[in-house]
């Protein structure tokens, strides 16, 4: 059996670029911390202590169990009224995965039946206390505790210092996506309005070159070739390298080709 | 008879408590090590299978929590195979039961822009590359796509993939050959359309 060389090493430059982009993509910054927090809230596994009384079983005494059940029931009620994206997997997904993925089902105890709800409480209460929390997460420790039903991921994102720039970038992307959609559907006036909104909101936006490229596309779509070329020249002078310059050049060249065809074709 | 402090009350002997604490600490470290080693690769695997970034986060957490619960069943050196085996099943179930696998799957989560904000060019290039990659992967069926990602991106060997998927190595080889052929055809088509 031949073992092929991997495309990421031996493929075309284009294949390698795409595969590298996929390999390098990363989840959000606090993802690992949240998952570790959720895992830390899990009780010791049953098989870890087989053959001797487990720490868990000794902790679960009637007086504790009453508290546990009360918290579990309360949290289960709260969870049923709010299913946060990040928080969902903290509790419910573990139990769901246990049922649906577990290759070797095992008997469940009454404690474990309440476990999903318990996890939601534990995760909200404890993540910043973890010794393994990365340094970047430290400022979050002083944040006010979220209510038990609040999404863990959402609350973490609200506090994270990097989110302000991320959110504003998200807004930039949304506005420019609106421009693209309008251009695709031929709604030039809508595209223009969105571009004006972008310019007003982000006079020094991170995606300014992309906005410029879209304005060129809009001008070309409206048939205003002179302005499109003038803007193209200006942008290529300002951003001579990179993908925008190539895209502007390609758009103007394609338009020039169309113009040539228009002039050459008999009417 | 003099009573020892360790037998006061109905608690366990102090030596047993110390032992349990030590076991619990070791277990905690193993959990954390497992998550740190596999969470991001599993997230990436789920992304390339077509989940949006937030859905991949949910599913990835589900995978790792399941693995943590079953940690004692994992043989040393088999962690990756075990975790990805769970990931394949979680992804397959989500594909059947949710709408995670939609066009949202090619969205780029801007929260992934860590540390210094990348330049406009970098964002655009990254976004476009990921969109093109996902478009090329979308031309593969689920079986071929899974094998392709495990081999090309997770750099698993064919015997390892066979164990993860519980299929013969020959089946993996056949799926991989077809997947590579189809992927390369797709990227050639996409490249010819790029300016």
Domains of chain A: 31-159 (no CATH), 163-259 (1.25.40.10)
Q: Which of A84, A99, A81, A68 is nearest to A34 (CA)?
A: A84
Tell me, yes or no, whether B170 lies in a domain.
yes
Contact between A106 and A156 (Cβ < 8 Å): no
C-alpha pair distances (Å), A60 with each of A54, A57, A110, B164:
10, 5, 10, 37
Query: What is the sign, positive or negative, of the torsion defined by CA atoms of A207, A209, A212, A213?
Result: negative
Tell me, yes or no, whether B80 lies in a domain.
yes
Q: Do A104 and B114 touch (CB under 8 A)?
A: no
* pLDDT, tens only, B21-80: 777 777 778 888 999 999 999 999 999 998 888 889 999 999 999 999 888 888 888 899
Same domain, B148 and B81: no
Same domain, B99 and B130: no
Same domain, B100 and B136: no
Instruction: Kindly state the average pLDDT of the residues A86-101.
Output: 39
CATH number, domain of B49, equals 1.10.1740
Q: Of A37-51, A84-98, B105-119, where does mean pLDDT reach its minimum?
A: A84-98
Same domain, B195 and B129: yes
Q: Do B44 and A22 touch (CB under 8 A)?
A: yes
Interface contact B189, partner A, CB < 8 A? no
Tell me, yes or no, whether B10 lies in a domain.
no
Q: Which of A27, A38, A45 sits opposite B72 (nearest CB)?
A: A45
Same domain, B124 and B186: yes
Strand residue runs (E) in chain A: none
Give contacts of B158 with chain A, Cβ < 8 Å.
1, 3
Mean pLDDT score across all residues of chain A? 62
Q: How near does any CA of chain B get to the CA of A102, in Å?
A: 7
Q: How much is the pLDDT for A53?
A: 35
Full-model pTM: 0.50
Chain A residues 188-207 within an 8 A CB cutoff of chain B:
206-207
Tell me, yes or no, whether B65 lies in a domain.
yes
CATH number, domain of B177, equals 1.10.10.10
Reported ipTM: the value is: 0.77
Tell me, yes or no, whether B9 lies in a domain.
no
Helix, strand, coil percentages in chain B from 3-state DSSP, rounded to 5: 75, 0, 25
Q: How many domains does chain B have?
A: 2
pLDDT band at B12 (very low <50, low <70, confident <90, very high): low
User: Which residues, 6+ apart, have CB-to-CB distance to A106 below 8 Å?
Assistant: A46, A47
Domain around B68: 19-105
Burial-class residue B88 by CB neighbours within 10 Å (0-12, 13-18, 19+): buried
Same domain, B99 and B160: no
* Spatial separation of the C-alpha atoms in residues B53 and B39, rounded to whole Å: 13
Interface contact B107, partner A, CB < 8 A? no
Tell me, yes or no, whether B5 lies in a domain.
no
């Amino acid at each position: 059996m031949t073992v092929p060389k991997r495309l990421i090493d031996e493929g075309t430059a284009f294949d390698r670029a795409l595969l590298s982009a996929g390999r390098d993509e990363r989840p959000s910054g606090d993802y690992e911390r949240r998952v570790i927090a959720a895992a830390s809230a899990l009780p010791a596994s049953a098989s870890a202590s087989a053959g001797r009384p487990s720490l868990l079983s000794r902790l679960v005494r009637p007086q504790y169990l009453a508290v546990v059940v009360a918290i579990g029931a309360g949290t289960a009620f709260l969870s049923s009224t709010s299913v946060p994206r990040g928080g969902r997997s903290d509790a419910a997904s573990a139990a769901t995965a246990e049922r649906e993925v577990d290759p070797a089902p095992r008997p469940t105890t009454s404690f474990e039946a309440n476990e999903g709800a318990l996890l939601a409480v534990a995760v909200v209460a404890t993540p910043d206390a973890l010794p393994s929390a990365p340094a970047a997460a430290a400022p979050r420790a002083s944040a006010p505790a979220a209510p038990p039903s609040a999404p863990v991921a959402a609350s973490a994102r609200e506090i994270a210092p990097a989110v302000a720039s991320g959110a504003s970038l998200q807004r930039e992307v949304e506005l420019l996506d609106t421009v693209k959609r309008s251009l695709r559907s031929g709604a030039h006036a809508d595209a223009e309005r969105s571009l004006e909104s972008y310019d007003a909101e982000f006079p020094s936006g991170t995606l300014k070159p992309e906005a410029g490229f879209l304005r060129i596309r809009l001008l070309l779509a409206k048939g205003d070739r002179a302005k499109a070329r003038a803007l193209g020249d200006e942008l290529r002078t300002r951003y001579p390298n990179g993908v925008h310059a190539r895209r502007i050049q390609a758009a103007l060249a394609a338009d020039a080709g169309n113009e040539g065809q228009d002039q050459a074709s008999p009417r | 008879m003099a009573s020892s402090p360790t037998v006061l009350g109905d608690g366990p002997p102090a030596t047993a408590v110390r032992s349990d604490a030590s076991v619990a600490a070791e277990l905690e470290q193993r959990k954390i090590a497992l998550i740190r080693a596999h969470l991001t690769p599993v997230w990436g695997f789920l992304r390339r299978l077509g989940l949006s970034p937030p859905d991949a986060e949910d599913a990835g957490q589900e995978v790792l929590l399941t693995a943590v619960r079953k940690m004692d069943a994992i043989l040393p050196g088999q962690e990756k195979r075990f975790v990805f085996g769970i990931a394949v099943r979680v992804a397959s179930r989500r594909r059947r039961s949710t709408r995670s696998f939609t066009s949202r799957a090619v969205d780029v989560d801007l929260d992934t822009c860590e540390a210094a904000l990348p330049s406009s060019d970098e964002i655009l290039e990254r976004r476009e590359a990921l969109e093109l990659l996902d478009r090329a992967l979308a031309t593969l069926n689920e079986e071929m796509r899974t094998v392709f990602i495990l081999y090309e991106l997770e750099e698993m060997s064919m015997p390892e993939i066979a164990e993860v998927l519980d299929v013969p190595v020959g089946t993996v080889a056949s799926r991989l050959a077809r997947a590579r052929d189809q992927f390369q055809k797709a990227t050639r088509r996409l490249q010819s359309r790029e300016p």
